[in-house]
Structure 1
Amino acid sequence: MVFQPADSATLTAAVAARQSNRKPVILHFADLLVGPLCASARPRRFPLLYLLADGAAMWLAMQGLFGSMFLVFGLSRAAAIALARFAGPETKFRREVSAWQPWIELSLYVFSLATIAIANMTGPIAAQLSTFPSSQVVRGTAAASIDAAVTYLTVQGDVFFRIVTRWLLALLKGLENVLTLAPWPVLFAVVGFAAWKRGGAGLLVLVWMALGYLGLFGYWAEALQTSALVLASLCVCVVIGIPAGILLAKSPTSRAIASPVLDLMQTMPSFVYLLPAVAFFSIGKPPALIATVIFALPPLVRLTCLGIEQVPLHVREAMQAHGATPLQMLLKAELPLALPSIRTGINQTIMMCLSMVVVAALIGGGGLGYNVLFALQNVQYGEGILAGLAIVFCAVLFDRLAGSGRKTDL
């Protein structure tokens, strides 16, 4: 074995690496003082935890509880040292920024503590720090601009909104007529047969129990109205959601534009959807349907897009190799393979439509939501709970009969 001396470049790199792992004395003091917040090359840090601990210690000191203050400060410092020992190794990026990052973090930490201390004192500066500066002028201008835009759209699109209202009302009335024309024994038999085919005797018993509850407690007519609203909303969601999901899966630009819109639709409080529905479509079942569609549409769009994106690449390549057109690939490969995800999206859309029943009753949606709303307004606890259970049983029926899972015996 022949010993090969290392060249000068290797020795220089080794010395530089060892020196880079050494921290200045001020940074060792920072580790002891503020813990992982100012550790120069630690990828695992907990700045919020230690900022809160030191803020709590400062608050205790202001209250005169110095013993508790020292206890909190000491425990946080001990935790800082312990966590610093278990921190992971340095990375290349950490070594590159270790020369300036600790000083920024230390400055941020000192600034945060100083601001907390000043905000808890008395005086005009403390008052300004405690209350975020707001502008009623900006708020009023923004609200007035929104009102003007809604008024303009209501006037200019009056014909369009009337046509949409007429079509939606016809869809709702048609579904209600279909459901109400069938006597209850026919619905029991048809729905029970569908449940038996899908889930066996266990699901059949569950479905008949749910239908029996709706009939026995006098919620049969309201349940049919609610079912018509849910089915009409589902039809609109399917007509819009599945093509939109396919478009998002095929076009990254469309996905980038639509993703914030879908996020807004999912995070906006459900009561807010009533405002544009009432502004454009007045009061009644059509605006209730519109608000329900806006609230329930995003899951179907997202899950359809996800199902198309998860189609294996080798399936697309095989179809292209055999000369399939994009439409043939979509209809014969992508949609069938994405069908489980689309079914899950439909199931989630149904559940979200049912969750809007009570909110839609505020603008004339009717159905079981009106029973819950009436009980709430008149402080009738028993009636409200019974009506709420009726909505739950409707959800169970829709979930079990239109669920995305395979046939199982309950």
Structure 2
Amino acid sequence: MTFQPAGATTIAAKTPASETARRNQPLQSFDLLVGPLSFSQATRRGLAFYLLSDGIAVWLATTGLVAQAFVLLGLSRLLAVAFGRLAAGRRSARRGLVAARRPWLEALLYLFTLAVVAAANGTGSFAASLSGFPASQALRVSAATAIDAAVGYLTVQGDGFFRVVTRGLLSLLKGLEAILTLTPWPVLFAVIGFAAWKRGGPMLLAVVWAALGYLGLFGYWAEALQTSALVLASLCVCLVIGIPVGILLAKSPVSRAIASPVLDLMQTMPSFVYLLPAVAFFSIGKPPALIATVIFALPPLVRLTCLGIEQVPLHVREAMQAHGATPLQTLLKAELPLALPSIRTGINQTIMMCLSMVVVAALIGGGGLGYNVLFALQNVQYGEGILAGLGIVFCAVLFDRLAGSGRKGGA
């Protein structure tokens, strides 16, 4: 017994079975791409279109209207098949049944493509207009001018706020740098080594001590401490902002819909672009470097915190509500503990992205190992640049192994 969807007509019952099968058999992409090589009813229906397309390509090649006409033939045929089958699939889905796919849309799109390509390879102003997208220089200049005016207005009107933020971030950075730099190196070796041994055993201890030894023996100890202070300060700001925002997005679909494009913009924007507003609002120095690093490294923590909260099983929430737990108690005693592995992964990704901004932040006074790499690049010192870059790599290894989910007995 077969199921007949609602809305299907009984015309097929009055038509021979072979004729119905022939009409309902879709035109396959394989038939359009390689021609009548298979023995199907769809091939017979698509034969005229196939021969027409090849005839047009041969005519274009022999007359010299389009260079490499056969290459253009293949590309245009691929486009025609892709868009035509997409439109047919959507139409069939809306109807709730598998409808016969007519090749007219593919044929029209194919002919349109060849006509435009032939016109673009011709001469005259119309062909020149097809070769390049029509751009508006005035629109670009006006948009850039409006952005400059907005930045200038915010810089003047928010000067007090930006000064307070700069002082706060500078105090956090100086405090972390003081803790790290005033601690003797044997103490740091012992404390970091003990943490590595507790987390991953002797193998992780050997890896951590090797990384620390490289930084010390090659003279990058002070710069590594400055880089670590910048990474830790950025991580603190990301934790204060990212985890609450991630919880909010998990609890509010409206907030998630609003914040998702913003997070996409923060993740896809080139890292050098973050330096522009940071310098405009916070001048030059370590605070704007920290701000740019936070903007670049914040999205993974927000997304993974939201994902961890969303993946908490529904029966856990129902059990907490059945026992009279408030939403805050459910969050603190059930959702956050269950989402902790995802949050830890977000923290680890944030640390790695903070380290990836070290060299970029050095352009505006971030200091640390990033300045060594930047100085070597400016003075074409390959050896110094590679050694400083390896120092950043070893810092990343230290943070990754100590903050990641290491297992006992392995690195």
TM, length-normalised to structure 2: 0.82
- Deviation for aligned residue 1:247: 0.1
Counterpart of 1:218, as a letter, is G
Aligned residue number for residue 395 of structure 1: 396
Aligned residues: 378
Find the aligned partners of 2:55 and 2:175 in 1 and give their Cα distance: 65
Q: Which residue of 2 aligns with 1:196?
A: 197
Tell me what 1:109 maps to: 110
**CA shift for structure 1 position 409:** 1.6
Question: Aligned residue for 1:45?
Answer: none
1:337 corresponds to = 338
Question: Aligned equivalents of 1:65 and 1:132: distance in 2?
Answer: 20
Q: 2:159: which partner in 1?
A: 158
Q: After TM superposition, give the deviation of residue 168 of structure 1 in Å.
A: 0.1
Q: Report the 3-state secondary structure (helix = DSSP H, G, I; strand = E; otherwise coil) of the residue aligned with 1:395.
A: helix
Q: Is the 8 A contact 1:311 1:338 kept in 2?
A: yes
2:199, 2:406 within 8 Å by CA — same for their partners in 1? no
> How far is 1:370 from its partner?
0.2
Contact 2:24 2:99 in 1 (8 A): no
Counterpart in the other structure of 1:180 = 181
Contact 1:223 1:367 in 2 (8 A): yes
Deviations 1:355-378, CA, capped at 9 Å, x for gaps: 000000000000000000000000
Q: Distance in 2 between the 1:286 and 1:254 partners? A: 29
Partner of 2:50: none
Deviation at 1:104, TM superposition (A): 2.6
**How far apart are 1:40 and its partner, in Å?**
12
In structure 2, relative to structure 1, the CA distance for the partners of 1:201 and 1:14 (3 Å cut) is farther
* 8 Å Cα contact 1:55/1:116 also seen in 2: no
Cα deviation, 1:369-388, whole Å, max 9, x if unaligned, reads 00000000000000000000
Give the corresponding residue for 1:296: 297
Deviates more, 1:140-149 or 1:27-36: 27-36
Deviation (angstroms), 1:268: 0.2
Counting only pairs closer than 5 Å after superposition, residues 25-44 of structure 1 correspond to structure 2 as none
The 2-side partners of 1:152 and 1:303 are apart by 35
- The 3-state SS of whatever aligns with 2:332 is helix
Shift of the alpha carbon at 1:103? 2.4
Cα distance in 1, alignment partners of residues 144 and 336 from structure 2: 44
Note closer, same or farther for the CA distance 1:336–1:110 as it changes in structure 2 (3 Å cut): same
CA distance change for structure 1 residues 33 and 245 in 2, over 3 Å: closer, same or farther? Answer: closer
Query: Given that residues 285 and 365 in structure 1 are in contact (C-alpha distance below 8 angstroms), is that contact kept between their aligned partners in structure 2?
Result: yes
Residue number in structure 2 paired with 1:134: 135
Please tell me whether the aligned partners of residues 270 and 359 of structure 1 are also in contact (alpha carbons under 8 angstroms): yes
Q: 1:407 deviation in Å?
A: 3.8
Contact 2:234 2:293 in 1 (8 A): yes
Q: Secondary structure at the match of 2:103?
A: helix
Shift of 1:204: 0.3
Once the two structures are superposed, what CA deviation does each residue of 1:23-54 show, in whole Å capped at 9, x if it has no partner? Answer: 499x9799856669xx9999xxxxxxxxxx99
Q: Deviations over 1:300-350 (max 9, x none)?
A: 000000000000011011001111100000000000000000000000000
1:54–1:277: structure 2 CA closer, same or farther, 3 Å change rule? farther
What amino acid is aligned across from residue 175 of structure 2 in structure 1?
G
Report the alpha carbon displacement of residue 16 of structure 1 after superposing the two structures with TM.
Answer: 6.3
In structure 2, relative to structure 1, the CA distance for the partners of 1:24 and 1:263 (3 Å cut) is closer
Structure 2, gaps ≥5 residues long: 1-7, 44-53
Q: What is aligned with 1:229?
A: 230
For 2:150, the equivalent position in structure 1 comes to 149
Deviation at 1:269, TM superposition (A): 0.2
The separation in 2 between residues aligned to 1:309 and 1:253, in whole angstroms, is 15
Gaps of 5+ in 1: 1-8, 43-52
1:232-284, CA deviations, whole angstroms, 9 ceiling, x for partnerless residues?
00000000000000000000000000000000000000000000000000000
1-side partners of 2:153 and 2:67: how far apart? 63
C-alpha separation in 1, matches of 2:118 and 2:127 = 9
Counterpart residue number, 1:365: 366
TM-score normalised according to structure 1 size: 0.83
Does the 8 Å contact 2:65/2:118 carry over to 1? no
Q: Find the residue that maps to 1:362 and give its secondary structure.
A: helix
Query: Is the alpha carbon distance of 1:97 and 1:147 closer, same or farther for their aligned partners in structure 2, counting shifts above 3 Å?
Result: farther
User: Match of 1:5?
Assistant: none
Q: Post-superposition shift, 1:404? A: 3.3
Match of 2:282 in 1: 281
Check the 8 A contact 1:40/1:102 in 2, yes or no: no
Contact 1:41–1:95 (Cα < 8 Å) also in 2: no
Compute the RMSD of aligned alpha carbons.
Answer: 3.7
**Given that residues 58 and 69 in structure 1 are in contact (C-alpha distance below 8 angstroms), is that contact kept between their aligned partners in structure 2?**
no
Q: Look up the equivalent residue of 1:135 and give its one-letter code.
A: S
Letter of the structure 1 residue corresponding to residue 176 of structure 2? L
The match for 2:209 is 208
- More moved, 275-284 vs 11-20: 11-20
Is the 8 Å Cα contact of residues 40 and 98 (structure 1) preserved in structure 2?
Answer: no
In structure 2, C-alpha distance between the alignment counterparts of 1:55 and 1:265, rounded to whole Å: 48
